[in-house]
């Protein structure tokens, strides 16, 4: 087998389609942990695990020990399962080549090689890995992929979420899937199956204010609602840990980039604009309003201010102004640009 996708791997394991080696790598560790845990929990029965499950850690083991453990035959079970967690700490992982050349069919060797790219496909090691088993590379999501991923995850677990709550989570939680899942599970615990995750539920259980968050901030700026924008800016200034300046500037840059793209669209119908901007159609009215309030030349000037204040936040020509004051200044500049 060769590189395959996450869902296919889980489906095969459920159907007892198993391979001697699973080489799990990539910058997104969430997928790696889920696959390894799924193999640990589903291949062997609880009784079989006592004699046929070995879990090792990269900092505490070496290649000879791994090969020796993988060469064992199962005891009163169909498989010997060997899971190497944090395998990225093992030097010269390619020294596993002798085992990869002749893996034991009754062993399932799972190598969790986190935060790394797949081995060079031109190497003999990679070619033999892909021939013997499964090579999986977990890639980080792009920011514009996060809302769809959250929506899918929520739906798979039997809950609902509206566009506004969805965007609120996506903007606040970033792209790390482990963080996203941990926070969403907090919501599941406090909701009945089939319930909807609302902005109020998020505020009560995760602590993201439904009124004072980056999503509401960008929309207040887009609508040129100066009163609301200044109130949120003050809240950000008073709560810098929950609203880091670097995240604020990054998301505002994305927002105004999409407003500029909206200007360029020949077809500004809701569905086409949503497709081109990569957002839920529900939000197109917000981008249309922002485009009305900010002509292209004004947006270009805003980009310049965003870069300027991002540099100031890192100390450039700014020895004393704190991030709270910077966000207030930036708000004024955006609202009064041009």
**CATH number of the domain that residue 218 is part of:** 1.20.272.10
Domain boundary among 159, 174, 205: 205
Q: Tokens 């926070």: give the residue.
A: 183
pLDDT digits (tens, 9 = 90+) for 44-99: 999 999 999 999 999 999 999 999 999 999 999 999 999 999 999 998 899 999 99
Same domain, 176 and 256: no
Residues in CB range of 72: below 8 A, 6 or more apart: 80, 107
With bands split at pLDDT 50, 70 and 90, how would you rate the model's confidence at 288? very high
Which pLDDT belongs to residue 115? 83
Tokens 């064992």 sit on residue = 72
pLDDT digits (tens, 9 = 90+) for 182-202: 999 999 999 999 999 999 999
Same domain, 184 and 297: no
Answer yes or no: do 72 and 174 share one domain.
no
Q: Evaluate if residue 249 carries a pLDDT over 60.
A: yes
Token pair of 311 as six digits: 């540099």
Strand spans (E) along the chain: 21-26, 53-57, 80-85, 107-114, 134-138, 160-161, 196-197
* CATH code at position 111: 3.40.50.300
What is the domain extent for residue 177?
A: 143-205
Q: Are residues 31 and 83 in the same domain?
A: yes
Q: How far apart are CA 193 and CA 160, in angstroms?
A: 9
Chain centroid to CA 199: 20
Between 337 and 206, the more confident residue is 206
Last residue within a domain, chosen from 185, 205, 225: 205
CA distance 277 to 147: 13
| Pair of tokens at residue 283 | 């939000």
Contact at 8 Å (CB) between 287 and 328? no
300 part of a folded domain: yes
- Tell me the pLDDT band of 320, cut-offs 50, 70 and 90: low
Q: Is 300's pLDDT higher than 90?
A: yes
Does residue 1 form part of some domain?
A: no
Kindly calculate the radius of gyration of the chain based on its CA atoms and give it in whole angstroms: 25
Using CB atoms within 10 Å of the CB of residue 147, give its burial: 0 to 12 exposed, 13 to 18 middle, 19+ buried.
buried
- What is the average per-residue pLDDT within 319-325? 73
Q: Does pLDDT of 318 surpass 90? A: no
Beta carbons within 10 angstroms of residue 326's beta carbon: 21
Which H or E element spans position 205? helix 199-205
Q: How far apart are alpha carbons 284 and 7 in whole angstroms?
A: 32
Is a pLDDT exceeding 80 seen at residue 257?
yes
Domain with residue 186: its CATH number is 1.10.8.60
Compute the distance between CA of residue 171 and CA of residue 204 in angstroms, rounded to an integer. Answer: 17
Q: Is 292 in the same domain as 310?
A: yes
Polymer length in residues for the chain: 338
What is the total count of domains within the chain? 3
Residues 52 and 101 in one domain: yes
pLDDT, tens only, 5-26: 888 999 999 999 999 999 999 9
pLDDT at site 242: 84
Specify whether 49 is located in the same domain as 172. Answer: no
Query: Which tens digits make up the pLDDT trace of 113-143?
Result: 998 777 778 889 989 998 999 999 988 898 8
Q: How far is CA 59 from CA 62, 63, 84, 89, in A?
A: 8, 11, 10, 6
pLDDT value, residue 321: 65
User: Tell me, what's the pLDDT at 317?
Assistant: 65
Given a cut of 50, is residue 156 above it in pLDDT?
yes
Mean pLDDT (the chain, rounded): 92
Residue 2's pLDDT is: 44
């Amino acid at each position: 087998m060769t590189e395959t996708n996450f869902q296919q791997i889980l489906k095969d394991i459920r159907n007892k389609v198993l391979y001697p080696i699973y080489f799990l790598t990539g910058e997104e560790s969430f997928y790696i942990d889920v696959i390894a845990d799924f193999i640990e929990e589903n291949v062997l029965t609880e009784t079989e695990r006592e004699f046929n499950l070995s879990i090792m850690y990269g900092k505490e083991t070496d290649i000879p020990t791994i090969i020796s453990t993988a060469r064992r035959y199962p005891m009163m079970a169909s498989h010997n399962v060997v899971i190497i967690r944090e395998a990225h700490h093992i030097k010269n992982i390619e020294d596993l080549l002798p085992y990869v050349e002749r893996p034991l069919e009754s062993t399932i060797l799972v190598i969790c090689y986190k935060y790394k790219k797949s081995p060079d496909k031109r190497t003999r090691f990679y070619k033999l890995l892909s021939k013997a088993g499964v090579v999986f590379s977990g890639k980080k999501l792009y920011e514009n992929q996060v809302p769809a991923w959250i929506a899918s995850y929520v739906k798979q677990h039997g809950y609902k979420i509206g566009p506004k709550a969805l965007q609120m989570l996506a903007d606040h939680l970033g792209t790390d899937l482990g963080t996203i899942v941990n926070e969403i599970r907090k919501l599941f615990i406090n909701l009945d199956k089939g319930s909807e995750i609302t902005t109020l539920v998020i505020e009560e259980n995760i602590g993201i204010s439904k009124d004072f968050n980056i999503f509401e901030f960008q929309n207040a700026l887009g609508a040129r609602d100066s009163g609301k924008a200044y109130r949120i800016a003050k809240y950000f200034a008073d709560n810098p840990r929950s609203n880091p300046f670097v995240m604020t500037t990054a998301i505002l840059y994305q927002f105004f980039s999409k407003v500029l793209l909206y200007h360029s669209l020949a077809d500004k119908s809701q569905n086409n604009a949503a497709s081109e901007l990569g957002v839920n159609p529900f939000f197109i009215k917000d981008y249309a309003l922002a485009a009305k309030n900010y002509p292209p030349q004004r947006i270009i000037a805003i980009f310049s201010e965003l870069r300027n204040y991002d540099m100031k936040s890192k100390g450039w020509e700014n020895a004393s102004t704190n991030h709270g004051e910077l966000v207030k200044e930036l708000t004024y500049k955006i609202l009064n640009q041009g």
